[in-house]
A = this chain, B = another copy of it.
Amino acid sequence: MDRRQRKTRNAIFQAFTRLLERKTYSALTVQEIIDEADISRSTFYAHFETKDELLKAMCTDIFHHVFSNEIISEEHHDFSDKDSFQDHITHILCHLQEKQQTIKGIFSGECGEIFMRYLKEYLYQVFDRQLTDREDIPRAYRLNHAVSSFAETVRWWSKEHSEYSPDEIGRFYLESVDI
């Protein structure tokens, strides 16, 4: 990728992150992002068609970093062993912690919803293979519950309780949800 493109893309991402700390996503205009990133109008539209595309691209970047080694390269793993699944969870949480600053910004404001949606898409892949069977509750419900609870755990952790370690958060989650 051209260095100029990288620089511009980065400038946009950073401006976007900064702005999200003080304004909600929907209240944010493309014009403000352009001004904050200090680039030309035409340059922005050369990179992203809309504000939504920008958010999508940023989420994809983050999750690719967080999940690439989890889903893609370890597809052959099975986590039938409970401890190894716990490690798996902790591993994901550690990656998320690295991106904490950015994620915290995204969560302020209602665009957190879009972030959560993308997060859940990845989580479905992780949990679908792991979920055990129970006869009294539909599998679809339990999968949704496991995924949603994990995503909400991440939100809770990032927004208000960053003082906990990935290990602790993983334990809270696994003791609260029946996988």
Say whether A176 contacts B136, CB under 8 Å. no
Say whether A145 contacts B153, CB under 8 Å. yes
Report the Cα distance A111→B161, complex, angstroms.
Answer: 25
Given A149-B149, A152-B148; A176-B142 close (CB under 8 Å): yes
- Interface of A, secondary structure class, is helix
Say whether A152 contacts B145, CB under 8 Å. yes
Say whether B144 contacts A175, CB under 8 Å. no
A172 within 8 A of B: yes
One complex includes copies of this chain to the number of: 2
Measured between C-beta atoms, what is the minimum distance from A109 to chain B in Å?
A: 9
A-B contact pairs, 28 of them (CB 8 A): A25-B26, A26-B26, A26-B52, A110-B110, A110-B111, A110-B113, A110-B114, A112-B113, A136-B175, A137-B176, A138-B161, A140-B156, A140-B161, A141-B153, A141-B161, A141-B172, A141-B176, A142-B176, A144-B156, A145-B152, A145-B153, A145-B176, A148-B148, A148-B152, A148-B156, A149-B149, A149-B152, A176-B178
Measured between C-beta atoms, what is the minimum distance from A15 to chain B in Å?
A: 19
Report the Cα distance A49→B112, complex, angstroms.
Answer: 24
Say whether A156 contacts B141, CB under 8 Å. yes
Q: 8 closest A-B pairs (Cβ-Cβ)? A: A113-B113, A148-B152, A26-B26, A110-B113, A144-B156, A141-B172, A137-B172, A145-B176
Say whether A175 contacts B137, CB under 8 Å. yes
Instruction: Chain B residues near A153: list those with CB within 8 A.
Output: 141, 145
Instruction: Chain B residues near A136: list those with CB within 8 A.
Output: 175
Instruction: Chain B residues near A141: list those with CB within 8 A.
Output: 153, 156, 161, 172, 176
Measured between C-beta atoms, what is the minimum distance from A58 to chain B in Å?
A: 16
